[in-house]
Amino acid sequence: MATAVLPQPVQNLINELARLPGIGPKSAARLTFFLLRDGSNQALELADALRDLKERTRFCSVCFNITENDPCQICDDDERDQELLCVVEEPLDMLALERSRAYNGRYHILHGAISPVEGIGPEDLKVDELIHRVQNGSFRELILATNPTLEGESTALYLKRILAGNDIRITGLARGLSVGGDLEYTDEITLGRALDGRSDL
Amino acid sequence: MHIKHLSLTNFRNYGRLELPLPAGAVVLQGNNAQGKTNLLEAVYYLATSRSPQAGSDQQLINWTAAESGEPIIVGRINAQVETQTGGRIIEMRLIRERNEGRHRPYSFRREAVVNRRTVRLMDLLGNVRVVLFLPQDIQLITGSPSGRRRYMDTVLCQMDKRYCRDLSHYNKALEQRNALLRQLAEGTGRRDTLPIFTDKVVELGSRLFVRRASFMYELGREAQRIHYEHLTSGNESIRLHYLPRLQENGLNRGGTVSQLTALSDFLYKNEMDAGVVGEYFQSIMQATLSADLARGITSTGPHRDDWMIEINGRDLSYFGSRGQQRSGILSLKLAEIDWVTTQTNDPPVLLLDEVAAELDGQRRALLLEYVKHAAQALLTATDSDQFPNDFMDRATLLTVANGRVR
Ligand SMILES: Nc1ncnc2c1ncn2[C@@H]1O[C@H](COP(=O)(O)OP(=O)(O)O)[C@@H](O)[C@H]1O
Ligand SMILES: [Mg+2]
Ligand SMILES: [Zn+2]
Q: In the prediction, which pLDDT does A39 show?
A: 75
User: What confidence tens digit (pLDDT) does each residue in B211-259 have?
Assistant: 999 999 999 999 999 999 999 989 999 999 999 998 877 655 555 556 6
Q: In the prediction, which pLDDT does A189 show?
A: 73
Work out which ligand 1 atom sits closest to the CA atom of B39: 17
Q: For residue B70, is pLDDT > 70?
A: no
Chain B environment of A28 (Cβ under 8 Å)? 101
Q: Residue range A131-149: average pLDDT?
A: 94
Strand partners, B112: B92, B119
pTM value is 0.89
Q: Residue range A95-106: average pLDDT?
A: 94
Q: How confident is the model at residue B71 (pLDDT cuts 50, 70, 90)?
A: low
Q: For residue B5, is pLDDT > 90?
A: yes
Note whether B113 and B95 are within 8 A (CB).
no
Percent of chain A with pLDDT over 90: 67
- Regarding the domain delimited by A59-172, which CATH topology (the fold level of the hierarchy) does it fall under? Dna Topoisomerase Vi A Subunit; Chain: A, domain 2 (3.40.1360)
Q: In the prediction, which pLDDT does A1 show?
A: 66
Mean pLDDT of chain B: 91
Backbone angles phi, psi at A58, to 5 degrees: -155, 175
Residue A191 three-state SS: helix
Q: Which of A90, A58, A71 is nearest to A133 (CA)?
A: A71
**With a 6 A CB cut-off, is B29 part of the ligand 1 pocket?**
no
Q: In the prediction, which pLDDT does B63 show?
A: 85
Q: Residue range B50-63: average pLDDT?
A: 82
Q: Find the residue in B nearest to A114 (Cα).
A: B193
Give the integer Cα–Cα distance in Å for A77 and B28.
Answer: 73
For residue B32, the CA-to-ligand 1 centroid distance in Å is 9
Q: Find the residue in A nearest to B118 (Cα).
A: A185
Please check whether residue A117 touches B, CB under 8 A. Answer: yes
Q: For residue A141, is pLDDT > 80?
A: yes
> What type of residue is B309?
I
In this structure, the dihedral spanned by the alpha carbons of residues B57, B63, B68 and B71, taken in order and rounded to 10 degrees, is -10
User: What confidence tens digit (pLDDT) does each residue in A168-198 have?
Assistant: 999 998 877 777 767 777 777 777 778 877 8
- Sorted by where each starts, the structural domains of chain B and their CATH numbers stand as 2-129+346-405 (3.40.50.300), 145-329 (1.20.1050.90)
Q: In the prediction, which pLDDT does A183 show?
A: 76
ipTM: 0.84
Q: In the prediction, which pLDDT does A119 show?
A: 94
Half-sphere exposure (CA, 13 Å, Cβ side) for B135? Answer: 10
User: What confidence tens digit (pLDDT) does each residue in B119-135 have?
Assistant: 999 889 999 999 999 99
Q: In the prediction, which pLDDT does B36 show?
A: 97
For residue B147, the CA-to-ligand 2 centroid distance in Å is 20
Q: Which of B175, B179, B90, B172 is nearest to B128 (CA)?
A: B90
DSSP state of A123: G
Q: Residue range A79-93: average pLDDT?
A: 96
Q: How confident is the model at residue B101 (pLDDT cuts 50, 70, 90)?
A: low
User: What confidence tens digit (pLDDT) does each residue in A58-84 have?
Assistant: 999 999 999 999 999 999 999 999 999
